[in-house]
Amino acid sequence: MRFTKMQGAGNDYVYVDCFQQPAPENPAQTARQIADRHFGVGGDGLILIEPSDVADARMRMFNADGSQAEMCGNGIRCVAKYVYDHGIQRRPTLRIETDNGVLEVDLELDDATDKVVRVRVDMGRPVLEASRIPTTLPGNPVIDVPLQVAGRQLEVSCVSMGNPHCITFVDQLTDQWVLDIGPQIETDPHFPRRVNAEFVEVLSPTEVRLRVWERGSGETLACGTGACAVCVAGVLSGRTERQIVAHLPGGDLQLHWANDDEHVYMTGPAVEVFSGEWDPASAKNVQVQEAHSSM
């Protein structure tokens, strides 16, 4: 099976072009094997790029533990780059089908190479109704409500960007927040489908520092939908403005929660790292055929 490794702000996935080859028969199992950072290609999960009847391409995403996710903000930017750079569709604005609907993306091209370097994604309107996030915590919206986790009383805010997020604003980001509290928030019974946990240090009304414990993958270097959710929660809690820069361990993302259409717009990088051949008969057999760095 041919694959391409790509990353957006360090959030790395293994991508499979299903325009050129069949999708794996068991994508959940393939995700667990191929995402393994010791015996596989390594990544935060598996993303399939498939034909679509309603858009330029369809994205299906599987976390490193094999669970299927509705949406990935960094992943959709890389899908858009692949679709353009590999000639599936050569338009500066593309439509990508996801399990959260069809999203529109605008491509920023390098003049010298005619390759995509950055992508702006219309992430749509945030979901603020508790039952649709979903969470059993009180409020519509769920902003700064108490949550008891690991013997600690937290104040959390919940937003869905097609997938669920629980945001905690903290005075200082630490490993304890992310690595100890994050997994417990993910599986807290107030979140029937589990949840992504964001921990945010506000630097100014237009700038935050962010780390994320992702549902099904653990801590990742970036989370696009999580950054969008933080932007929304920051506005609703009065901590930030509608346009912010989010500093994540893997890089920066620009977020804008627009006043007019109430859509969240996310802008960030997309990078192709290398391509190779994966033998699905063996979880330990990866042959990198053409290593290259590509903007």
Just list the catalytic residues: 72, 223
Phi, psi for 222 (deg, rounded to 5):
-165, 155
| Residues forming a β-bridge with 289 | none
Residues 227, 8 contacting (CB under 8 angstroms): no
- Element holding 233 (H helix, E strand): helix 224-236
* DSSP conformational letter for 66: S
Buried b (16+ CB within 10 A) or exposed e, 162-189: bbbbbbbbbeeeeeebbeebbbebbebe
Which residues contact residue 159 at a Cβ distance below 8 angstroms, ignoring those fewer than 6 apart? 126, 127, 128, 133, 141, 142, 165, 167, 228, 229, 232, 233
3-state secondary structure of 20: coil
128: left (phi over 0), alpha (psi -120 to 50) or beta: alpha
Measured from the Cβ of residue 137, the count of other Cβ atoms closer than 10 Å reads 18
Max CA separation in the chain (angstroms): 55
Compute the distance between CA of residue 168 and CA of residue 240 in angstroms, rounded to an integer. Answer: 14
- The amino acid occupying position 133 is I
Compute the distance between CA of residue 7 and CA of residue 73 in angstroms, rounded to an integer. Answer: 11
